Amino acid sequence: MPDGLVTAEASGLVTSVNRRAEQILGRSADELLGRDIREALPLETRNGESWWALTDPWNGLRIRTGHREKLLHLPDGAELLVTARYLRAGNAGPLGAILLSLRDAEARRRAEQDHAALISTIAHELRSPLTGVKGFTSTLLRRWDNFSEEQRITMLEAIDADADRLTRLITDLLDVSRIDTGRLRIHEVPIPTRPMLTRHVERAVATGRGEEGFSVVVEPGAEEVYADSDRLDQVLSNLVENAVRHGQGRVLLHAAPLAVDGSMGVVLSVSDDGAGIPAEQRRAVFGRFWHGPSGTGTGLGLYIVKGIAEAHGGWAEIDDAEDAGAVVRVFFPGEPA
């Protein structure tokens, strides 16, 4: 069994201990067998109270047949996830046996640490644009008459850009939840490829990037892509942002036709001229919370890209660019998913 199992008879004496329980407890079965289970496993709550005194399967409610999984402690500080089952003779009869299922809490702790790290990252990412919004709005409210019309417009544009960034972050978080639960909805329509790619170049240029660093290539047969407009916009936003962040200033947006299983589709790819992604790391790139060498961002962008592509019936992959750097390719079928 993957879980530890400790059983005791009605009197409370331990009758069996499986091997997994020995591993989790760090004690042999010989040390536990024949001892009172309250002494062999002196389980405590987070507050240091005796779990056995609180639950009391011997003198407590006879209709109680067990307890759901609960995080408990041993006196040495070890944490266990414990599920209890009380076997009774008939309905609400006397106690016949106690079964305890044990799980090591380390895996749960690691998951909680991952969630805490995500919360910390998200808080940092949200705080940055919020600081900008708060700073500019406070300044404008206090000193509106001290600024020229041009200065006011500049500040308002900065507020607008930070608000857009906040919206994208919140949308990403919601989409991660939808992807995880399989509830990501798409509405596919034909979309002209070149205007879509060009629009993302214009957005990057508007943030201060040089227009000469971007190239757009649309091959014959890829003039139109069948996709959800908003989701496609989301995919390209993430890919261009990654290429700009990890590259050295040159970004190529490319569209090409591709036949898969006899039906045509379009592959959209975004290349940069950065250091690239080592082959051994490429399987992890599309996972949640993956960060490149810069360590910036939420680590959710490529996870969302892959989820959106698969919701369309397509796929996403990463490879070496022709000259240097990395290229991310996303395939969209020519027919609705």
Tokens of 29: 């079965």
> E strands of 237-325, at which residues?
251-260, 263-271, 315-320
Tokens of 102: 């044990």
Q: Are 198 and 254 in contact (CB under 8 A)?
A: no
Alpha-carbon distance of 236 to 228, in angstroms, equals: 12
Alpha-carbon distance of 303 to 288, in angstroms, equals: 6
Tokens of 113: 């640490």
Q: What is the pLDDT of residue 293?
A: 55
Helices (H), the chain: 19-25, 29-32, 37-40, 51-55, 106-143, 149-181, 193-206, 229-246, 282-285, 301-311
Count of other CB atoms within 10 angstroms of residue 186? 16
Q: Are 330 and 260 in contact (CB under 8 A)?
A: no
Count of other CB atoms within 10 angstroms of residue 75? 9
Q: How far apart are the first and last CA of the chain?
A: 41
Count of other CB atoms within 10 angstroms of residue 277? 21
Q: What is the pLDDT of residue 295?
A: 54
Alpha-carbon distance of 90 to 242, in angstroms, equals: 64
* Residue ranges of domains in the chain, CATH in brackets: 4-104 (3.30.450.20), 108-181 (1.10.287.130), 188-333 (3.30.565.10)
Alpha-carbon distance of 290 to 308, in angstroms, equals: 17
| Close Cβ partners of 48 (under 8 Å, ≥ 6 residues apart) | none
Measured torsion, CA atoms of residues 33, 46, 48, 81, in degrees rounded to the nearest 10: 0
Q: What is the pLDDT of residue 110?
A: 74
Alpha-carbon distance of 88 to 96, in angstroms, equals: 5
**Nearest one of 75, 65, 47, 40 to 55, comparing CA atoms:** 65
Q: What is the mean pLDDT of each run of 10 residues along the chain (337 residues)?
A: 91 95 92 94 90 91 90 88 91 90 81 72 78 91 91 90 83 81 86 94 84 92 92 91 85 92 90 82 73 60 90 91 87 81
| Close Cβ partners of 129 (under 8 Å, ≥ 6 residues apart) | 162, 163, 165, 166, 169
Q: What is the CA radius of gyration of the chain?
A: 29
pTM, full prediction: 0.60
Tokens of 220: 């014959």
Alpha-carbon distance of 197 to 254, in angstroms, equals: 8
Residue for token digits 């006899």? 262
Alpha-carbon distance of 197 to 200, in angstroms, equals: 5
Single-letter amino acid, residue 287: G
